[in-house]
Structure formats: C-alpha cells, structure tokens
Structure 1
Amino acid sequence: MAIVKMSSFSLFAFDSERDNLLHELQKFGYVHFSDLANDETLKEEGLRDVVVPEGITEVDQDIANIKYALEILSKNDPRETGFKAMIKGKANFTLEGLEETAGAYDYKPVFESLKDRMGKVESLNQEEMRLIAASDELKPWVTLGYPVASMKGFSQSEVFTGTVPKKLKDKLMNELLPFDYTYYEVISEGKDDSYLLAISSKDEKDAVNEVLRNNSFSSIRISGEAEPDREMHKIAERLAELKSEREAVKNGIKEMAVHLPDLEIYYEYLMNKKVRLHASENFLRTDSVNVIRGYIPTEMAGDFRKAVEASQKNAYYLDVKEATDEADIPILLKNNKVNQTFESLTAMYALPQYNEIDPTPLLAPFYLFFFGMMVADVGYGALMLIGTAVILKIANLAENTEKFIRFFFYLSIPTIFWGAIYGSFFGGIIKIPGLIDPAKDYMMILIMSIIFGLVHVFFALGVKAFLYVKGGDPVGALFDAGFWYMALIGAIGFLIPMFLDLPPAVKTVSMVLMIVGMGGIVVTGGRENQSMVGKAAGGLYSLYGISSYVGDFVSYSRLMALGLSGGFIASAINMMIGMLSGMGIIGILFGVVLFVGGQAFNIFLSLLGAYVHTSRLTYVEFFGKFYTGGGKPFNLFKNASKYINLK
C-alpha cells in the first residue's frame, strides 16, 4: 500500500455550465482543485478571477439561520444520547439522497416561528428584569403608608424622598429641628444609607434643600401610584404571570425540537452547496470560458471524465495526464484495513511528499509492539478487546470514529500478549504464570528494551538506504546509511566484550568496523559543501551525530519504565484492596469501589502514556532517520459532515 497515484487535469468549460459541472464533480467527490487565483502567468494572458455567485450570500444567511435554530433546539433534543446514540449512529446519505431530502423541506416556517418565540421570551425576560428592578427600588419604602401619587403635585409644600449616609443621619436630624413647617422621617435603613422622607412648606423648602444637599442627600423618585407595599404586590403578581407565559413559550420551543433531524439534514445540504459555490474561487475565466485545474486519483480518471461529460451540453476541453514531479501534488493515502487506523499518526506528524513513501505500514508493527509492551496487562487488553469488538459489531459509526475504535481493537492484542509474558492480570489480582517477572527481572526488560530500540533504529536506517537505492543513488545509501551501520554495530561489538566473555576477535573486528564506519562518516558527511574545510567540518559534525544515537537508544528504556509503572500502580491498588477485604462487608464494598475506580484510572494513565510515548519513539527515533514529510492533504470535494454520514 502506498500513496495514491495522482493525475493532473486541465479543463476548459463554458461559464454558463459551471453550476452543472460543479454539481456532477461534487457527486464524483475525488477532485482537488488547484488555486489559480494567484497564477500571474495565466493572468498576464488576460484571464481573470471568477466572480463568486451572488447566491453565496443567500446560502450564508440560510446557514446562519439554521445554526441559530440548531443551537436553540439542541438544548431540548429528545433523541437518545451517549452510548445508545453511538449504537444508533448517524443517518447515511449519498449526495443525491441528501439533495432530494433537503429539496422537499422548507426550513423557513420553522425558523420564523422559532425566532418569534425567542423574541417573545426575550421580551418577557426584559419585562421581568424591569419589574425586579422596580421592586428592588420600592423595597426600602415598603413601610411608607402613603400612596405615591398623593405625594406629587402639592401646591403649598415640597416632598423630598431619597437617601443620606447613615453616618450623617444624626447630624441631618439636628439641622432639620429648627424648621417649624418641615416634617421628616427615616423610612428604613440599608447597609450604608438611610432612606428619608421629608415634607417642607414652600417657604422653607429652599433652606431644607440646602441642608439636605450639605448632608449628601441623594434624591430618589419613587415609582408607582399606590402605596409601595401594594405596588410590590402588583409586581409580584405580574412576575408570576410572566413566569407562566415564559414557560408556555419555552414549552412551545421544546416541542419544536422534533424538527432537529430535518434541520440537520438541511444544514449539511447547505454546507455542501457552499463548498460547491466557493470552488469557483479557484478558477479563472475569459468572457465565456472557465479555466479549471486540479488533481484526481489516476485510477478514477475514467469516472472523472464521465462526470465532466454528464455536465456539459456544449463543447469542452479536458486534458488528463499522470502527475510526476509537480510540487503541489496533493496526498491521499491508501492502506489495508489495519494500516488505515494508523494513518492519523502519520498525518499528525506530516503527510509524505508525493515522491516519498507512505511510512504508515512501516510504523504500524512497531507501534503495536511497543504499545503492548508499555501497557502489558492481560486484563486491560481483554477489556479493550471485548469493548471495542462489541462497539464495532453493534454500532453504526462514522468513518473516523470507526477507525479510532479499530485502532484500540488492534492495540489490545499486543497488550494481552505482553501481559501474558509478564504474568499480569489487573496487576496480579489473579495470578497467572508469566515468562518474565517484572519485579525481579527488570534488568532483563531494560536490555530487551534497548535491543528493540536497536532493531527499530536499524530498520529506519535500512529504509533510508532503500530509498537511496530506489532513487538511483546506491552510493548515497552507503554514505548515509552503510557507514552508520558500520560505526554503530562496531561500537556495540566493541563495548559488549566489557560485559560478556567473548572471543578477543570479536572486539578486534568490531573496532576495525567502527573505525571504518566513523572514517566513512567523516569523509562523506560533508560532501555537499564546496570547500575542503567545509567538507571536513561537515564530516566531523556528522560524526558528532553519533551522540544523538546514544540518546535514541536510551529513549527506549521508556518501554520498560511505563510497563513497570503501570504494573506497580495496579499492584499497589490490589494491595490496598487486600487490606480492606479483612475489614468485613464494609471493607469488601470499599474494596470493590477502589478496584473499579483505581484500575479504571490506571487503565487511562497506561493507555495515555503508551499512546504518547510510542508516538514519540515513532516521530523522533524512527521518522527522524528517513522521513521528511510536508505533503499537503487531498481535499475531497465535499463538506466534512457533522450530523450525517455522507457516503
């Protein structure tokens, strides 16, 4: 399996038939348009940008309306959620079926009704806020036993209502005592202020006002007509009515949630229509002809021609040829069912360039092996295996979700394998015989980890050599891979006799091999430089890179570290459960809770740690030896579906 072979195409079609063309090409799906908007060569020949249809504005408005409706109604979605929803899955549609279903549905009455009801809710909310504010303003005056209306419009007196700081209240009272025709009363007191009512004759009002002002009096206009307590009662009654009205409107909105499936389908239809309309931005045109370029999978060239022919009533020109070394060839990967689940790891790092190899089939076996070694528990692996197998069997999953579940289904197998080797079943809750005891044979596991790392790194160097040979440069394979093999193998062979009793010839041969390899690296490592000094410096710098290999080999100790840490945590949990089990029924119950919670947490940590660290070994130690990446993805001519499975 490898990178899908691509063919480039050039198409001249009449502008009047652009909509039909794009419609047919979207049904075909596997079209990646090249952006010609920045092609100055073509523009110098008189070609100009294609004007995006005015209809795109209407589509954007429809999408905004649908999003508004979905956001509101989704809060009252009556459909099943969680595991049941995953089992049922999303509805499956072809593009033709999606357009047929959406064409028979008019979303606007639903949207307008929802908009009106939401407007009513907003209006009720605003009235409620206004009434609550009014009630809060009246609360300090609730003991005022006079109708508010009766205190307005006196011809011979002036009414003052407001607040003074509590710390100035006594001072104010004393200053108001000399006034013979002024009545004043503290109605209530708040945290910092006193609420004051004062009635003064026309003759004294100015003097009273001056006293109030000098004491930081702040005037308040009391709202309403009747006594404050009666006004507050009327407000409370209206608030109860508002609550009832709002609940009725909200119940009506809740009932509208039955339209969610239709709205979601229409949203997907609009998003695909938007993709189709925006595709025109990649084209150039004359007065009547569109110039279109892009890429298609070579194996689909026949179907592509049929799609173009089906859309054209008039003459057109189409040229399709196999892509070779163009810099902008998009990348589409094609792997078997197992390797497909690992394509996301490759894409997370970088898609390959068109002239590279797809590293996915190369990384997959090592990833499985290393992941299993890091988790290494029969119980954990069995849970993964059974859980993912059941989900894959009974659930209607989206394509990406299915790949994700299958990813962990495949990873469960090496997890069980290594768990059996270590004799670990939920950290030893049930004793099973193993080939290696991690608590005692940790040095053996460390040595195994380093050996596996050597295999991993040497395999990567072998891939590098293969790519050189495949590219017609066997000498480069010797210089950049062969000499490194010699230097590393020689260095290992030179060091091993220090720890093992081996014939002297092993050390001698290894030393010679190491010297030849290192000498070759120094001589050829800087061959791209022009001057002799540059070549020598480049060679020495390349040899310095051997230190990074030492770091690489040490990195594989994490295979041991994570496997042991997960096992020890599980064992610690089991030890605590054992202590609780001796405390009677209560201890047993707590032990069950601890087992489920503790082991679940350890599974999560183990899987997360294994995922991250195996990815790290892949990206740094493995890819770093032979893989460049940097390819851009092939963009399918359709929208990434959110609510449906678009086939």
Structure 2
Amino acid sequence: MAIVKMKKLRVMAMADSRDALLRELLRLGCVEISEPAGRLADPAWADLLRRETSTLAETKNEQGEAGAALDALKRYGGTKDGLFIQRRPVSQEEFLSAGTLEEARAVSRQIDGRIQDISRLQGEEGRLQSRKAGLMPWVPLDMPLELSGTANAVFRLGVLPGAADTAAIRSELAGTAAELYEVSADKQQRCCLLIAHRAAEEEALEVLRPHGFSVTAFQGVTGTAAKNVADIDAAIAAGQKRRQEAEAAIAALAGKRDALRLYADRLSAEAAEDQNTERLLTDGTIVFFEGWAPAESLGEVQSLLESMGCAWEASDPTDEDVPDVPVKLKNNWFTKPLNMVTEMYSLPAYNNVDPNPLMAPFFILFYGIMMADMGYGILMFLAGTIVAKKYRPKGTMGHMMGLLQLCGVSTFFWGALTGGFFGDFLTQVVKLTTGGDFALPALFTPLNDTLMILVGAMALGLVQIVTGMAVSFIRKLRAGQVLDAVFEEVTWWIVFAGIGLMALGVTDLVLYAGLALIVIGPLVTGQGFGKIMGIFGSLYNHVTGYFGDILSYARLMALMLAGSVIAQVFNTLGAIPGNIVIFLVISLAGNALNFALNLLGCYVHDLRLQCLEYFGKFYEDGGKPFRPLAMETKYVDITK
C-alpha cells in the first residue's frame, strides 16, 4: 500500500453557481479546498478578490441547539446511546432532503424552547429557595414584617452573632426604654426583635452595636414570615409542576431522536460546506479556489467541474508544494487498522513512505507474543467482531476494532504455542473436578523457556531494525545519497553479520571488514578534524543506538512472562480452598484484571517499539491529513 498521489486543483466558476458547486463537491467527497491566506497575502490577488462570506455562525448555532436537544432527550426521554452509537443507514437523497431538514429543525426548536423553560424555572426556583432560606428564621415571629412601629414605639428586626449572650444584653438594656426578644437562634446567628421607645431608639442601638447587632429589613415584603414562606412553597410547587410538564413534553418527543440525529449530521455537513465557502475567493462575478484531489478520483472531479461549466486545471505538486500537500493513506483490510497508530503518532510526509504495511506484521506479531493466551485472544477477536458488525464504528474506533481482531488472532496463535488458556485455568479445573493431571500441549512455556524467549525476542527486534534500515537504504539511494546509504546502513549490516558469524565460530573477517567501514565512513564524508571525531561519534552513537534498541525488545519476553505468571497466581489462589465455585470466582476476577491490564500495557509497549525503535530508522513525519469537503457523519451511514 502507499500514500495516495494528489493533484493540485485550480478552479474558477460563476458566482451564482457557488452553492450548487459546493453541494456537488460535498456529494463527491474527494476535493479539499485550501485556505486562501497565501493568495490574499499577495497584493495583486488581494486587490482583485476577497473572501466569500457564509452563514457559518448560524449553522454553528443550530448545531448547538440540535446537540442540546439530543442531550435533553437522553436526560428526560430515557434514550440511551450505550458505549457505541448504532448507526442507521440512510440514502444520500434522504440525508440531503429539504423536507427532512425542516421537520427536524422544528423538533429541535421545540425542544430548545422547553429547555429554556426548564432553565428559567430552575433559576426561579433557586431564587425562591434563597428567599425562603432568609425568611425561615423569622417564622416564629407572629408579626407582619413590614410593621415598623407605633406612634410611640419602634420595631427593629436584627441579628446577633451566634455566640452572643442575649440575657446579658437584656441586662445592659435595662436602663433604657427598650426590650430585646430572641425569635430564633442557631450556631451562626441569633434573630432578634428590638422594641424601643422612639426617644430611646438611638440609645438602645448604641448598647447593641458593640455586640455585633445588625438591623435587618425585608423590602417589599408584607405579612408574616410564615405566610410568606407558605406563599413561596406554593410558588415552588407550581414551578416544579411546570418544569415537570416541560420535561414530559421533551420525553414525548423521544420518538423523534432518529430525525434529530440525522439533522445533527446534516448540520455538520452544512457547517463543513460553510467553512469551505469562506475559503473561496470572489469579486462578485466569479469564484476561485485552489485545492487538492486524489489522482485516482480526478476523472470524477473532471466530470463534475465540466458539467458545472467551471474553468479548471490539475497539476502534479512541485517540490515547493510538498509541505502543503495533504496526505491520504491507501490501505487494505490488513493494514488499515494501523491507521490508528499512524495518526496517533503523526502522518508521514507526502514524499515519504506509508508506514502501515511495514508496521502491521510486526505490530500484530509483537502484540500476540506479549499477550500469548488463547482465552484472551478469543475474547479480543469476539469483542472486535461483535462491535464491528453491530455498530459499524468509523474513524479511530473502527480502526481499533479491526486491530483488536487481528491482535486477537495473533494472541490466540501464540497462546496455542505456549499452552496458555487463561493461564493454567483448564489444568486447575481438571484437578479440582477429577483429581487428575492435565496440561495443554505447548511448544514452549514462558516459565520454563525464558532464556530462549528472550533470545528470540531480541532476534525479532534485530529483524525489525534491519527492515527499517533497508527502507532507509532504498530511500537514500532514490535521493542520490549513495555514500550515506553505504556508510550508514550497509556498514552496520556487515557488522551485524560479522558478529553473528563470529558467534558461530565461522570467521572474524566479516566483522573486521565492518569495523574498517566504520572508520572509513567519517574519513570520506567528514571534513578536517571532524573526520577523527566522526569515527568516535559514529561508533558510540551506533553501538549505543542499535544495541540499545535491540535490548529494548526484551519487553516482549517480560510481558509474556508477567501475563502468564499473574494468571497462574490467581488460578492457584482460587484452587487453594478446593471448591470449584470459589475457584471460578477468584480465577475469573483475577483473569479479568490481568486481561484489562495487559490489553492496555501490551498496546503501549508495542506502540513504543514501533514509534521509537522502528520509525526512528526511516520515518519522516509531519504530513497534513487529507480533509475533503465530505459528508462526515456521527449517527447515520450514508448509502449511495
């Protein structure tokens, strides 16, 4: 497989055909419109053309409403998505139908109105609860709160700190024409009523001020606190009833969820169309854009553009264009799941190689070696197959399920070679039920053949590293870097071969030849004193680099051994009581934990081997993903 070849497009069309052209490009789904920033930076272009405008802000607003409506249906309508969204197949005509759009938009706005009602009612209830909390301490006071006094007396409501001694304060007020009554008290405050002769009000307040007395007033409140609390309770109950009615109205629209999902995906397509509209340049009469299309789709693009009366041209990207050329990987069923790894790391540069075919055999093989259990392999394959068939996930999740299936097959294969089925699960079951001895046949086992597995793991690592060097060697030859290819790759192949032959006792001459090339390389390619330093630098860097990388593959043995031992430990613990039921509970729980840890751990370590030890030999990243104007969906599958 390879990186898809791209063609650079330059297209000019009449301005009144803009919307129709974009809609047809959306249907086609294979043209990426470039940002025009470079052109607008050129005064010659900036004086002639300007950016197009669109309704992107309105579309984004409608997207937000549709998303909120779906969330409301999930919350109030009892609709659940589960771990994976089950996509509904729809035709392209239904997806782009104006009737479908208007019906769903009406539902979305209806739900949005109910959501606003609920939000308003919740806010009002919060304010009422706050008012109620302020009135509750005054409920024992059987006096209208607006009453401020009589002709000769004043009534003042106020609070004292919770630690205040009201008895002592009353004693201090004994010499004034005033009396203090405690209405209620808690740890934070004491609510009090001060009754004083109008002539003695200031004197009484002066006595109370050092004790932290603060006058309280209820503006606009009439009647007793108890009556106001009762009114607030009634208002809260009425608000809650209206809120429940609004929630019930949303729940009644649960049957419209599929229409709303289709609407949400349609808005995503419209947002993409609007974003691309703003990448067009126009003078009011014509529109112009530059972009990219796969060379293999150029025939379809040509038919569309000519049918729309466009003036256009397509050309191969130049060397200056390479950093801006979008990257699309063309893979088959075996290598496509590895897009998940490549995209997580970084896409290759356009003039580099597609790493997926080079990585897939090693990634899947290494994962199986580290996991190495038939039971775990079966679970992985079944999980990946069921999710892929039932939910048809796309993007990263789709790649994950495909990778899970392939790694499950590899895990089962290596489990068969090592005799592992949830560790020694079957051995313990037979022993507990019949008392007999039983063991699955095995070519080798992690516990008994650890050294052999370690040597084999490093040998596989050497194979992968040499493969990466071979790719680098070919790329350097194609770029005309012959000396670099010889002294970087060929030299160390000879060194590796010499070490192997010397270990077998065949000859030392090959190793000496390799060492001679290590010395000659810097002398030929270096300059001045750098020639001498280059010898030591090359020797140190490559010895520590290559042999450190090879030793890193010991993790294949380590994870295989760890997973096998942990499974056997849990099986042994479960077998100690001698009861099959207890054994099954402990064994299954332990194996579930071991499976979950290894599922992630093996992926992380495998990823490290590919991205550091392997990619470092040949890979150049930095590619920009190919993002054409297309109908990208989350909830539906569009069928043509």
Verify same fold: TM over 0.5: yes
Structure 1 position 537, deviation (Å) = 2.9
Which residue matches 2:452? Answer: 444
Tell me which moved more, 15-24 or 234-243: 234-243
In structure 2, C-alpha distance between the alignment counterparts of 1:398 and 1:205, rounded to whole Å: 78
Matched-pair contact (CA < 8 Å) for 1:388–1:409? yes
Farther off after superposition, 545-554 or 49-58: 49-58
- Residue 173 of structure 2 corresponds to 176
Deviation of the 1:383 alpha carbon: 1.8
> In the alignment, is residue 290 of structure 1 matched against residue 284 of structure 2?
no
Q: CA deviation at 1:572?
A: 0.7
Question: C-alpha separation between the residues in 1 aligned to 2:44 and 2:530?
Answer: 44
Q: What letter matches 1:105 in structure 2?
A: E
Structure 1 residues 171 and 18, CA gap change in structure 2 (3 angstroms):
same
- Are the counterparts in 2 of residues 99 and 269 from structure 1 also a CA contact under 8 Å? yes
Deviation at residue 40 of structure 1 after TM alignment: 6.4
1:610-629 deviation digits (Å, cap 9, x = unpaired): 11111111111111112222
Q: Distance in 1 between matches of 2:546 and 2:192?
A: 85
Q: Indicate yes or no: 2:493 matched with 1:467.
A: no
- Is 2:325 the counterpart of 1:329? yes
Aligned to 1:550: 547
The match for 2:357 is 361
1:28 has 2:36 as partner: no
1:290 shift after superposition: 2.9
Q: Which amino acid aligns with 2:452?
A: M
**299 and 238 in structure 1: CA distance in 2 versus 1, 3 angstrom threshold:** closer
Q: 1:213 aligns with which of 209, 212, 218?
A: 209
Which amino acid in structure 1 is aligned with residue 399 of structure 2?
K
Please say if residues 33 and 628 of structure 2, whose CA atoms lie closer than 8 Å, have aligned partners that are also in contact: no
Counterpart Cα distance in 1 of 2:523 and 2:307: 57
Could you report, residue by residue, the CA deviation over 1:191-246 in whole angstroms, capped at 9, with x for unpaired residues? 14322212122232232222222432111235754443344344334433333232
SS at match of 1:434: coil
Give matches, 1:520-539, under 5 Å: 520-525=517-522, 529=526, 531-539=527-535
Q: Give the alignment partner of residue 344 of structure 1, picking from 325, 340, 345.
A: 340
Q: Where in structure 1 are there 5+ consecutive unaligned residues?
A: 497-501, 583-587
- 2:246 — aligned with what? 249
Question: Helix, strand or coil for the counterpart of 1:291?
Answer: strand
Counterpart-to-counterpart distance in 1, 2:134 and 2:604: 60
Q: Measure how far apart 1:52 and its partner are.
A: 2.8
Structure 1 length as normaliser, TM-score? 0.89
What is the rounded CA distance, in whole Å, between the counterparts of 1:113 and 1:49 in structure 2?
42
- Write out aligned runs for 1:212-291 (5 A): 212-221=208-217, 224-286=221-283, 288-291=285-288
Q: Which whole-Å CA distance do the structure 2 matches of 1:629 and 1:123 have between them?
A: 51
Q: How many Å separate the matches in 1 of 2:564 and 2:98?
A: 54
Distance 1:59 1:489, change over 3 A: same
Aligned equivalent of 1:415, options 397, 401, 411 = 411
Distance 1:80 1:285 in 2: 46
> Structure 1 572/153 Cα, relative in aligned 2: closer, same or farther at 3 Å?
same
- TM (norm. structure 2) is 0.90
Query: In 2, distance between residues paired with 1:536 and 1:26?
Result: 61
1:584-595 equivalences under 5 Å are 588-595=580-587
Question: Which residue of the partner structure matches residue 559 of structure 1?
Answer: 556
CA separation in 2, counterparts of 1:303 and 1:630? 29
CA displacement at 1:432 relative to structure 2: 0.6
Contact 1:480–1:525 (CA under 8 A) maintained in structure 2: no
**Pairs within 5 Å for 1:364-513:** 364-398=360-394, 400-430=396-426, 431-471=439-479, 474-494=482-502, 496=503, 503=505, 506=506, 509-510=507-508, 512-513=509-510
- Partner of 1:635, secondary structure, is coil
- Contact kept? 2:76, 2:248, Cα under 8 Å: no
In structure 1, the residue matched to 2:118 is 121
Aligned residue for 1:341, secondary structure, equals helix
Number of the residue aligned with 1:8: 8
Q: 2:571 aligns with which of 555, 569, 574?
A: 574
Specify which of 591, 605, 611 is matched with residue 599 of structure 1: 591
Task: Answer yes or no: is the 8 Å Cα contact 2:32–2:629 preserved in 1.
Answer: yes
Give the gaps of 5 or more residues in structure 2: 427-438
What letter corresponds to residue 612 of structure 1 in structure 2?
V
Distance in 1 (CA, whole Å) between partners of 2:532 and 2:39 is 44
Q: Is the 8 A contact 1:159 1:197 kept in 2?
A: yes
- Identical counterparts, % of pairs: 28
Corresponding position: 1:110 with 2:107:
yes
8 Å CA contact retained: 1:48, 1:284: no
For residue 212 of structure 2, give the secondary structure of its aligned residue in structure 1: coil
Counterpart position of 1:499: none
Deviates more, 1:271-280 or 1:255-264: 255-264
Across the two proteins, how many residue pairs are aligned to each other?
622
The amino acid of 1:317's aligned partner reads A
Do the aligned residues in 1 keep the contact of 2:422 with 2:567 (CA within 8 Å)? yes
Separation (CA, whole Å) in 2 of partners of 1:60 and 1:646: 22
Partner of residue 154 from structure 1, selected from 150, 160, 171: 150
